[in-house]
A and B are shown apart, each in its own frame.
Chain A
Amino acid sequence: MKRTGITLYDLYAQRLLPLLALLGLVLVWEVLCRLFNVPEYVLPAPSVIFEAFLNVDGQRWFDHLWATLRVALLGFALAVSISIPMAIMMVRSAFLARTLLPFLIIVQSTPIVAVAPLIIVILGAGEAPRTVIACLISFFPIVVATTSGLLSTPKEMLELSNSLKASPARQIWQVRLPYAVPHIFSGLKVAITLAIIGAVIAEFVAAEQGLGYFVQFSTSYFRIPQAFAALFFLSMVSLLLFKAVQLVQQTFFSWSLPADEEH
């Protein structure tokens, strides 16, 4: 199905309605806080949070934001560059799959929050350990998604490829990997939000900058509205990164989207 044009109703239903709902929620929140005189350290009203946001210097916000974003993106990039080749190798070799899978599951099932302090002790207190933590938490979904994607190639397509006597590398590159693209993107969407979580966890353990650090710093000084402002920033960043992955898929791999999502 191709989009023929946006009608007013579409605009209302797709864009305006969620916005109105959000505004309504904020309004109810504000009214409830004022009505029941909820103390600021329990739940600050939106207006108070906004005030706290303005009280922090713009440059400072930017520095925190950039610190978290850099760690998350680096960790994510590292995860992508490890997990996709790993998935390819696991699909190519049953032996490797049997050997690697237990390790992957152990890494995945160990709570990253518990491992984070150890990694920081081992790797020191720089940006490297934070990147590693962001990578560790986000690479598993990509491996799983890529593997199942590579295995989703139709049997006939593989037979065609075999009948042409294509090399294994070409079969992966021209047939299996493109077939895996929709799966890979579902993995990437999960992974990018996990990368932000990883970065924040790492900042909780050891950092002197970043939005996670700033949340912890603010709460330890009972600046709850400021912590809320930082939290709001964090969820915005997560959301935008998720959207960015979606945009990459729509722009470069539009064929991999279901027909009604193609816009």
Chain B
Amino acid sequence: MRAAVEFLHVSHSYQARRKPPVQALKDISLQIAQHEFVAVVGPSGCGKSTLLRLLSGLTNPTLGEIYRFGKQVTQPDSGVGIVFQKPTLLPWLNAEENVLFPLRHQGKLIGQRDRRRARELLHTVGLEDFLHSRPDDLSGGMQQRVGIARALLLDPEILIMDEPFSALDALSREQMGFELLRIWGERPKTVLFITHSISEAVLLADRVLVMSQRPATIVDDIHIELPRPRTPSTIDLPGFNSYTQRIRRHIFGHGESAKAVPDITTEASQTPTAPHSIVRHAS
């Protein structure tokens, strides 16, 4: 079967104003099968989000080629749905209108069928009672659910999620993970799930790609052979820990210097300064 996503020797550098170019990705080759749930873990700032930009067609790689279902990616199209780290909802629209936003933003007229579809999606993410609520009146988790429903509106073959639950508290985060698996079960999609939580990656994915520090390469490609459906008790399975330990070894290295220790231990930390605090914490 043809791969849903294919990266062929992809390297990417970008240049911020008046700064030397930064190589984010170095010679990445990978394949993702249709309806596969792939998680990408790696230290923060390693170029995980660059993967998102490249696969969605927002940026073109400096070197190499990217294919979706055999078609080379050169520009964005509606075959890809994106869920961002922050829900990025429009504060002046209610939940239903936010879900419909992609259609409206493409200049399409919204018909009864589209509205029904938006309501169905909000039902799927468990927000059928909040159709007319504005984002301000929704909790962080609920806002992200709207974000997921919005990403599903155009029925994309591929769903890219860029640390979608990292802005949530630990409890909602775990709950949202299982919610996502349920939605994925109802509407199978090829999912590229970017995260910096090792346990989240193992718990949700069929496959975990481990990335190195910049310039990022893929240092390991692990098939997670834990039974589905995954539940909170999946964590207690003996296999679970060996997977997380394998990933942890890749990221923390084998007795490397403290400088190489990324902020992967603290799942909540977002700030770029976090590595320093971790080093201090560790010493």
Question: A residues near B, CB below 8 A?
Answer: 154, 156-157, 159-167, 170-171, 174-175, 178, 181, 253, 255-256, 259
Question: What is the CA–CA distance of A259 and B91 in the complex, to the nearest angstrom?
Answer: 12
Given the complex, which residues of A lie within 8 Å of B107, measured CB to CB?
166-167, 170
A174 to B82, Cβ gap below 8 A? no
- Starting from the known contacts A159-B58, A175-B105, 16 additional A-B residue pairs (CB-CB under 8 Å) come to A154-B86, A154-B88, A157-B88, A163-B57, A163-B82, A164-B76, A164-B78, A164-B102, A164-B105, A166-B105, A170-B107, A174-B101, A174-B105, A178-B90, A255-B91, A255-B134
Among A160, A162, A253, A255, the residue within 8 A (CB) of B84 is A160
| Closest beta carbon of chain B to A167's beta carbon, Å | 7
Given the complex, which residues of B lie within 8 Å of A154, measured CB to CB?
86, 88
A164 to B84, Cβ gap below 8 A? no
Residues 41-81 of chain B: 1 if any A CB is under 8 Å from the residue's CB, otherwise 0?
A: 00000000000010011100000000000000001111010
| Closest beta carbon of chain A to B91's beta carbon, Å | 5
Residue from the set B82, B104, B105, B136 with the largest chain A CB neighbour count within 10 Å? B105
B269 close to chain A: CB less than 8 A: no
Question: Which 3 A-B pairs give the minimum distances between C-beta atoms?
Answer: A163-B76, A156-B88, A156-B84
A159 to B82, Cβ gap below 8 A? yes
B106 close to chain A: CB less than 8 A: yes
| Closest beta carbon of chain A to B40's beta carbon, Å | 18
CB-based nearest A residue for B53: A159
Given the complex, which residues of A lie within 8 Å of B82, measured CB to CB?
159-160, 163
Question: What is the CA–CA distance of A171 and B105 in the complex, to the nearest angstrom?
Answer: 8
A161 with B85, Cβ < 8 A, contacts A255-B134, A255-B136, A259-B136 known: no
| Closest beta carbon of chain B to A1's beta carbon, Å | 10
B84 to A165, Cβ gap below 8 A? no
Given the complex, which residues of B lie within 8 Å of A170, measured CB to CB?
105, 107
A156 to B85, Cβ gap below 8 A? yes
Given the complex, which residues of B lie within 8 Å of A255, measured CB to CB?
91-92, 134, 136
Question: What is the CA–CA distance of A149 and B78 in the complex, to the nearest angstrom?
Answer: 29
Among B56, B90, B136, the residue within 8 A (CB) of A163 is B56
Specify the main secondary structure of chain A where it touches its partner. Answer: helix
B86 to A174, Cβ gap below 8 A? no
| Closest beta carbon of chain A to B86's beta carbon, Å | 6
Question: B residues near A, CB below 8 A?
Answer: 53, 56-58, 75-78, 80, 82, 84-86, 88, 90-92, 101-102, 104-107, 134, 136
| Closest beta carbon of chain A to B147's beta carbon, Å | 10
| Closest beta carbon of chain A to B77's beta carbon, Å | 7
Question: What is the CA–CA distance of A104 and B106 in the complex, to the nearest angstrom?
Answer: 35
| Closest beta carbon of chain A to B84's beta carbon, Å | 4
Given the complex, which residues of A lie within 8 Å of B92, measured CB to CB?
178, 181, 253, 255-256
Question: What is the CA–CA distance of A163 and B106 in the complex, to the nearest angstrom?
Answer: 10
Question: What is the CA–CA distance of A127 and B221 in the complex, to the nearest angstrom?
Answer: 76
15 contacts between A and B (CB under 8 A): A156-B84, A156-B86, A156-B88, A159-B82, A160-B82, A162-B58, A163-B56, A163-B58, A165-B75, A165-B77, A166-B106, A170-B107, A255-B91, A256-B91, A256-B92
A174 with B58, Cβ < 8 A, contacts A154-B88, A162-B76, A165-B75 known: no
A163 with B80, Cβ < 8 A, contacts A174-B104, A259-B136 known: yes
Question: What is the CA–CA distance of A77 and B268 in the complex, to the nearest angstrom?
Answer: 48
Question: What is the CA–CA distance of A23 and B102 in the complex, to the nearest angstrom?
Answer: 56
Given the complex, which residues of A lie within 8 Å of B78, measured CB to CB?
164
Given the complex, which residues of B lie within 8 Å of A167, measured CB to CB?
107
Question: What is the CA–CA distance of A255 and B104 in the complex, to the nearest angstrom?
Answer: 20
CB-based nearest A residue for B103: A164
CB-based nearest B residue for A253: B92
Given the complex, which residues of B lie within 8 Å of A253, measured CB to CB?
92
Given the complex, which residues of B lie within 8 Å of A160, measured CB to CB?
82, 84, 88, 102
Residue from the set A160, A161, A162, A181 with the largest chain B CB neighbour count within 10 Å? A160
Given the complex, which residues of B lie within 8 Å of A178, measured CB to CB?
90, 92
